[in-house]
Amino acid sequence: METWDAIRARRNVRTYADRPIGEADLERILEAARRTPSSMNSQRWDFVLVTGRESLRRLAGVWRGAGHVAEAAAAIALVAPAVDEARTRESIQYDLGQATMSIMLAAADAGIGSGHAAVENQPLAREVLGFPEDHFCAWLIALGYPGDRPLRPLRAPSRRPFKEVVHPERW
Ligand SMILES: Cc1cc2nc3c(=O)[nH]c(=O)nc-3n(C[C@H](O)[C@H](O)[C@H](O)COP(=O)(O)O)c2cc1C
């Protein structure tokens, strides 16, 4: 897919076809994550790739909005150091947001759908994923071929109007 098409075709996909994602595609999606820019190139992230059905089903329990993870072909857990300082925490979240978009666009490029999930139950996430005590699982990104319809550029995305959000020169 062209980059512009991938940007317009990405949408949250929460129902998945019963079709595995090939290793080369998963590797490319993770490589996109690894290449993401970060504040001072600090790369305060680790990516745990989960494809086992039992683990995916358990991960679906980390938050009431994570149910879609259960039937995904795979999920990438974004794991980061737990820090107290607010500014650093915000900076890590900014970087993780960029990594998320890298993952989602690389997936869309290959026709693979993706869906965010927040993580509330950290002990459960740690039990399934095995990350260290001084880290936390910030987000899950479920991946899978769409179960509803293939990814195609959306004509009218559910977004505030261009003229409302874009301010030429000054607000
Ligand atoms: C920070 C963030 C957290 C999100 N958490 C969840 C979630 O826990 N569960 C979920 O189903 N969707 C989640 N979403 C998906 C949003 O609801 C979705 O991106 C938004 O409604 C726009 O829809 P679109 O992605 O299809 O364009 C999250 C998105 C973001 C950016």
**Whole-number average pLDDT of the chain:** 98
Q: Any idea of the CA torsion for 144, 145, 146, 151, to the nearest 10 degrees?
A: 120
Atom 28, ligand 1: residue with shortest CA distance = 116
Q: How many CB atoms lie within 10 A of CB 103?
A: 24
Q: What integer is the mean pLDDT of 78-107? A: 98
Q: Is the pLDDT of residue 1 over 90?
A: no
Q: Is the pLDDT of residue 68 over 90?
A: yes
Q: Is the pLDDT of residue 14 over 90?
A: yes
Atom 30, ligand 1: residue with shortest CA distance = 116
Write down the number of H helices and E strands in the chain. 6, 4
Atom 21, ligand 1: residue with shortest CA distance = 12
The alpha carbon of 119 and the centre of ligand 1 are apart by a number of angstroms equal to 12
Give me the percent of the chain exceeding a pLDDT of 70.
Answer: 100
Residues 69-78 as b or e (16 or more Cβ within 10 Å = b): bbbbbbbbbb
pLDDT digits (tens, 9 = 90+) for 103-138: 999 999 999 999 999 999 999 999 999 999 999 999
Amino acid letter for position 164: E
Label residue 146 by pLDDT band (50, 70, 90): very high
Label residue 26 by pLDDT band (50, 70, 90): very high
The alpha carbon of 112 and the centre of ligand 1 are apart by a number of angstroms equal to 16
Q: What integer is the mean pLDDT of 80-96? A: 98
pLDDT at 48: 98
If one residue of 69, 95, 116 were mutated to test the ligand 1 pocket, choosing by the most ligand atoms within 8 A of its CB, it would be 116
The ligand 1 atom nearest the CA atom of 63: 8
pLDDT digits (tens, 9 = 90+) for 147-166: 999 999 999 999 999 999 99
Ligand 1 cavity residues, CB under 6 Å: 11-12, 14, 63, 65-66, 115-118
Label residue 63 by pLDDT band (50, 70, 90): very high
pLDDT at 171: 97
The ligand 1 atom nearest the CA atom of 65: 9
* Strand residue runs (E) in the chain: 46-50, 74-81, 113-118, 135-144
